[in-house]
Structure 1
Amino acid sequence: MAIEVDAAVLASTAVSLANARPSTRRAPDGGPRRRWARPETFLLLVVGLLYLNQVLFTVYVLRVHGGDTSFIGKYLPPGYFVLADGPAMRGLAAHFPMPELLAPSLLRVQAFLELPFALLAYVTVLRWLDRGLYRRLASSWLVWAASLSYTFVLCTVEWSLHNPYTVDDIVIRLCSAVLTPLLLQWLARREEEGSERVSFARMLLFAASVWALGHLVLSVYDTALLYNLGHLGGRLPGAMAALGVLVAARWASPRLAWGQAGPALTSIVAGLRWALLLFFVPALAVRYGVNFGSPLIAAAAGLLVCLVAAACTLREVLGDAGTTRRLLWAGQVVVALLAGAVTGYAAVRLVADTYYEAGLLRGAALCFAVVVGVCALTDRRLPRGRGDSGLPP
């Protein structure tokens, strides 16, 4: 399996870097704009279906298998199937008609929903940062490349954990790989053109939004995708706090007065746009490469994407800048990145996490917040030179 996952990491990274250029093609119009036709809405729908399936799965196991998950647990690694079998759940199971018909709730439903869950979460973050880039990317052929990359990795892992439902799951994943890009393209064609204005306050709210969404995604991963509905009670307080942060941040962001971003802050946001664009196709392959492939190859691919994103950013934002402005910009960015790196490292090391992604998410969000704060502060303190005209607005 490691060879297949490593191949997916290398191939998906190559496809992404071969298209390391901004999309200037206008996305085609596909119909009237609808406020609900956005990835957040359908991500919420997918999450609801995942938890509904968890309830049905628990009913199935309690009634048909007497609460014993060893019949499937022996095929999977540790960490799965912590049932929520309290009085309420047992009462529901006791009165549920024909529970044997709920057999597809085991693995099959998850196999269909896992891809839209991942891709909708990704494009939701992209839309928060830049609606125009989200619309162009989600309307392009890259959604098919991402769907193929993600599905190949998921099917490879599925095959390595072979069980009586593996063939069914792979067929279902292939169906999802066709339908999910169609959904994303349909949603993108109903998004208005335009980019979010860059400002210090908006970027802080963006960082808070991404942290909160990431926390919720990890909670769903543990409690729903791993069939650990029994963990929900312990995760619920943190999830509710994250949901509160997310709702408040998304409510406040469009209501902020437009601010003026300086060159350093503008370049950091441009770099984030490039990084999200270039990571779109290889993201899941790199993530699974850490656990199921060669961590060194996954780390090298991730680093290469970051370096290319940085190079593209420099070409974009400093193409017409003068020498003095370039030197001032370099000093600003170096100080900001050092301060952000120290903060992010401390945030990762000071708290022990069940999943390493939780620490990385917290560290990345705090790192970004500190970076944009330092950039915004130094942009205010330093004079703007004539070379600033080459920077994007």
Structure 2
Amino acid sequence: MAIILALTAAASVLASLLLVPRTRPPDPVPGRAVPPLAGFAAVTALFYLNQVLFTVYVARVHGGDPSFVARYLPSGWFALADLDGLARHVPAPGLLAPTVLRVQAFLELPLVLLAYATVVRWLDDGLYRRLFATPVVWAASASWTLTFCLIEAELRNPWTDDDIAIRIVSGVVTPLLLNRMARRGGPSPASASVAGLLLFTAATWALGQLVLTLYDTALIYNLGHLGGRLPGALAAVAVLAVVLPLRRRVRAPADGDAGPGRAALALVAGGLGQGLALFFVPALSVRYGVRFGAAPYLVMVAILLATAAVATLRASPGRFPTARTAAGALAGAAAAYAAVRLVTDPYYEAGLLRGLAAGFAVLVAVAGVRTPRRRAAARRRSSPTGGA
């Protein structure tokens, strides 16, 4: 499994390096745009509906004992909620048998692709169309579907063959829908400012928290954990409810507002965009590959990051603001390390999310800070007399 997964990741990295730099975003087509966040919310609702129906099925058909499926899967799955009261009123519970693994097999790919699309569109709508309205999304779907199928084969059980077939169907249907959604993209709020990037960071952290909650309570059938996870999930929803409207009020920096701060922020935003673009296709194979021996996958990530850095520097006008961005990178790395070490997490992704959010926020704050002299110069440029 480790060798096959490593080959999948390597092929995905190669496809990303060959395909992504040559791809340009198409012009948006007329029509009402459906934001990927709305699609993510819809798929999330379907996941929880399936969890409720699965719990009813187990209660009525298997006497509340999930061992008929749990014995084939790792420990930590199938902490069921108590829905006996509801289960008694559901007719023909045997018809709910497809809730066992099969629904998850179809919904998992659109869930993770929509989450990725949401983050990308928050950063840059042009980048969103470049990745999701072009063949790049098909390459990502192929890589992610193959990775999911490899994991299915590793956890072989009586449902495996059906699940692999369902995942292949999802791997065709999902990019078709995402491609159609992305072609109807529209302007997104400006991110290349201190406020814009900090709000983007907060929104991305909140979405990541929701994904982690969904993973624990729905993807591995632990609806019984929802009560403990609910406060954190509600806090993340509250953050999104505050941050997303604020992002729409953030204005892009004025053309005359030049200086090291703006150049550094443009470099940070451009580098993040390049990183998200190059990491898109191999993301899932690298994520699962970490569990099968981290070293080769870390090398692949380093290659992608180095390529993203070179591409960003080549595309950046003017002089590279070395001191400012270097100071921000060092401060961000220290903040990320402290954030990861601060708490012991049940899933390593939770610490990684917290560290990345804290590190990026500090990087943005340091890179974009204005000295008093720069602020005074900016005020003179924006005054009606131009400071004369």
TM-score (norm 1): 0.91
Residue 61 of structure 2 is aligned to residue 64 of structure 1: yes
Map Cα deviations across residues 294-322 of structure 1 (whole Å, 9 max, x no partner).
3111111111111111111111115xx3x
CA contact (8 A) 1:200 1:373 kept: yes
Match of 1:303 in 2: 302
Q: Cα–Cα, structure 1 residues 53 and 25, in superposed 2: closer, same or farther, change >3 Å?
A: closer
Tell me the amino acid that sits aligned with residue 40 of structure 1.
Answer: L
Residue in 2 aligned with 1:40? 37
Cα gap change, 1:316/1:230 in structure 2, threshold over 3 Å: closer, same or farther? same
User: For residues 33-80 of structure 1, what are the alpha-carbon distances to aligned partners after superposition, in whole Å with 9 as ceiling and x for unaligned?
Assistant: 24xx11111110000000000000000001111111111111101110
User: Is residue 348 of structure 1 aligned with residue 349 of structure 2?
Assistant: no
| Distance in structure 1 (CA, Å) of the matches to 2:151 and 2:372 | 50
- Say if 2:302 is the partner of 1:278: no
Residue in structure 1 matching 2:123, options 111, 115, 129 = 129
- Please state if 1:165 is matched with 2:159: yes
Gaps of 5+ in 1: 384-393
Cα deviation digits, residues 173-232 of structure 1 (max 9, x gap): 010000000110110111126773521101100000000000000000000000000000
- Contact 2:217/2:224 (<8 A) preserved: yes
Contact 2:289 2:297 in 1 (8 A): yes
Pick one of 135, 138, 143 that aligns with 2:137. Answer: 143
Higher mean alpha-carbon deviation, 131-140 vs 164-173, is at: 131-140
Q: Distance in 2 between matches of 1:306 and 1:267?
A: 14
Deviation of residue 144 (structure 1)?
0.6
Secondary structure in 1 matching 2:369? helix
Q: Do 1:127 and 1:134's aligned partners in 2 also have CA atoms closer than 8 Å?
A: yes
Report the counterpart of residue 294 of structure 1 in structure 2.
293
| 2:354 pairs with 1:357 | no
Residue 95 of structure 1: how far off its partner (Å): 1.2
Give percent identity, aligned residues only. 51
Cα RMSD over matched residues? Answer: 1.7
Q: Flag the 1:381–1:52 CA change in 2: closer, same or farther, 3 A.
A: farther
* CA apart distance, 1:267: 0.3
Match of 1:389 in 2: none
Distance (Å, rounded) in 2 between the aligned partners of 1:346 and 1:353: 14
Equivalent position of 1:317 in the other structure: 316
Provide the residue aligned with 1:73 in structure 2. Answer: 70
CA contact (8 A) 1:107 1:165 kept: yes
The reply to whether residue 219 of structure 1 matches residue 250 of structure 2 is no
1:84-163 correspondence to structure 2 within 5 Å: 84-85=81-82, 89-163=83-157
Instruction: Please tell me whether the aligned partners of residues 60 and 103 of structure 1 are also in contact (alpha carbons under 8 angstroms).
Output: yes
1:347 CA displacement = 0.3
Q: Which residue of 2 aligns with 1:249?
A: 243
CA–CA separation in structure 2 for the residues paired with 1:75 and 1:27: 48
- 2:61 and 2:191 mapped to 1: Cα distance? 55
Return 341-350 or 252-261, whichever deviates more.
Answer: 252-261
Provide the rounded CA distance (Å) in 2 between the counterparts of 1:118 and 1:39: 11
Distance 2:205 2:118 in 1: 13
Query: How far does residue 380 in structure 1 lie from its aligned partner after superposition?
Result: 7.2
| CA distance in 1 between partners of 2:371 and 2:130 (Å) | 30
Aligned to 2:26: 26
Does structure 1 residue 266 correspond to structure 2 residue 260? no
Q: Is the 8 A contact 1:262 1:380 kept in 2?
A: no
Per-residue deviation, 1:368: 0.5
**Which sits farther off after the overlay, 193-202 or 166-175?**
193-202
1:3 aligns with 2:3: yes
Which deviates the most, 48-57 or 250-259?
250-259
- Contact 1:133-1:195 within 8 A present in 2 as well: no
Between stretches 211-220 and 373-382, larger displacement belongs to: 373-382
The yes-or-no answer on 1:202 pairing with 2:196 is yes
Q: Name the CA shift for 1:155/1:112 in 2 (closer, same or farther; >3 Å).
A: same
Decide which of 166, 171, 177 is 2:171's aligned counterpart: 177
Q: C-alpha distance in 1, partners of 2:88/2:155?
A: 32
Paired residue for 2:222?
228
Work out the number of aligned pairs and report it. Answer: 369
Does the 8 A contact of 1:289 with 1:298 survive in 2? yes
Distance 1:373 1:154 in 2: 38
Q: TM-score, normalised by structure 2?
A: 0.92
Is the 8 Å Cα contact of residues 191 and 200 (structure 2) preserved in structure 1?
Answer: no
Q: Which residue of 1 aligns with 2:257?
A: none
Asked whether the equivalents of residues 347 and 366 of structure 1 are also in contact (C-alpha less than 8 Å), the reply is: yes
Give the Cα–Cα distance (whole angstroms) in 2 for the partners of residues 287 and 111 of structure 1: 18
Q: Which residue of 2 aligns with 1:388?
A: none
One-letter amino acid of the counterpart of residue 32, structure 2: R
The residue number in structure 1 matching 2:46 is: 49
Q: Could you tell me whether the CA contact under 8 Å between 1:212 and 1:246 is conserved in 2?
A: yes
Aligned amino acid, residue 315 of structure 2:
E
- 4+ aligned runs moved over 4 Å, structure 1: 378-383
**Letter aligned with residue 330 of structure 1:** T
Task: Please give the per-residue CA displacement for 1:85-104, whole angstroms capped at 9, x wherever unaligned.
Answer: 1xxx1110111101111000
CA distance in 1, matches of 2:373, 2:228: 46
**AA aligned opposite 2:140:** A
